[in-house]
Structure 1
Amino acid sequence: MVQLVRNSEGILEAELEGKKYSHVKLIRKFPFTMPDQYISVRTQEDEEVTLITNISVLEEASRREAEQELQAYDMITQILNVISIKRSEDLWLWTVDTDYGRMVVRMNERFENLHPLSPSRWILTDIEGRRFTLSNN
């Protein structure tokens, strides 16, 4: 059975059959009417590690991490202010103030996952699949 933990940097990791996977993401599969069932555990390269048929079968700590990660994935955070955009090795790091406090948003490309919703509003998706809105108002 897969075990989910966060490392010291808060990055979700998975362990399955003695193999560790860093920077994993959890993606709900269809049907969305069963939100605790059919959860895909995916690598940073978007390869499926395993499919969780129901999060209730996970150990308590892993279930809490899964619930937290899925809740964060479904939430759309509002970016209030962009503090900086910097290149760090192979990632772009956006330091932003949001309606949930200061965060670092990690992206592979600086603007690739920034899509217009209107002439003054955009949606940004980070490498973990989290979504943020950005407005110039």
Structure 2
Amino acid sequence: MSTLPTLRIERNLLGRLKVQDPDGTVHEPVTAVRAFPIQTPAANISLVGPSGHEVAWIADLAELPPEQRALLEQELHQREFMPVIQRLLEVSSFATPSRWTVETDRGRCEFVLKGEEDLRRLNPTTLLVLDSHGVQFMIRDPLSLDKHSRKLLDRFL
């Protein structure tokens, strides 16, 4: 496993990530995986080789040169699809299943909440919503939502 300052992270000719160790060994393709994607999204990143073994560990993305940091952030963004709900616009019913219309950081969306067990509290300030297709949505802080959104959400909590 390599340490940070001497790593070289770039894309290969096929657009996949590759890592070069200080000794010149190239690992490709590698996959960037966050250890704690919700609690510390900019820290604790593992670069995993094709055999499934870790080839490098990045304690903090801020330690990387800007171009390598941008490359890893782009890769992680593509790998992890978890829209953040910013507003609840409408809920079809306060009994489940119900159709939710929401605004997220990726645009407006409609989904079906199958059961109340698909709305989970991860910690005191973060909720995870699982739709009927298995897509996960996050609500970072329910108290920061507008009054209408909080009123709709409170019916399910």
Instruction: Using structure 2 for the length normalisation, give the TM-score.
Output: 0.46
Q: Distance in 2 between matches of 1:42 and 1:31?
A: 16
Given residue 8 of structure 1, which amino acid in structure 2 is its aligned partner?
A: L
Aligned length: 81
Which has more strand, going by share of residues?
1
The reply to whether residue 24 of structure 1 matches residue 30 of structure 2 is yes
The reply to whether residue 35 of structure 1 matches residue 35 of structure 2 is no
Deviations 1:65-115 (A, max 9, x none): 100110011127xxxxxxxxxxxxxxxxxxxxxxxxxxxxxxxxxxxxxxx
Where does structure 1 lack aligned partners over 5 or more consecutive residues? 77-116, 124-137
Tell me what 2:13 maps to: 8
Tell me what 2:55 maps to: 49
Which has more helix, going by share of residues?
2
Flag the structure with more relative contact order, 1 or 2, with Cα contacts below 8 A and sequence separation at least 6.
1
Where does structure 2 lack aligned partners over 5 or more consecutive residues? 83-130, 136-157
Say what the alpha-carbon RMSD is for the aligned residues. 2.2
Instruction: Using structure 1 for the length normalisation, give the TM-score.
Output: 0.52
Alpha-carbon offset, residue 31 of structure 1: 6.2
Given residue 36 of structure 1, which amino acid in structure 2 is its aligned partner?
A: A
Structure number, greater radius of gyration: 2
Q: Distance in 2 between matches of 1:20 and 1:61?
A: 19
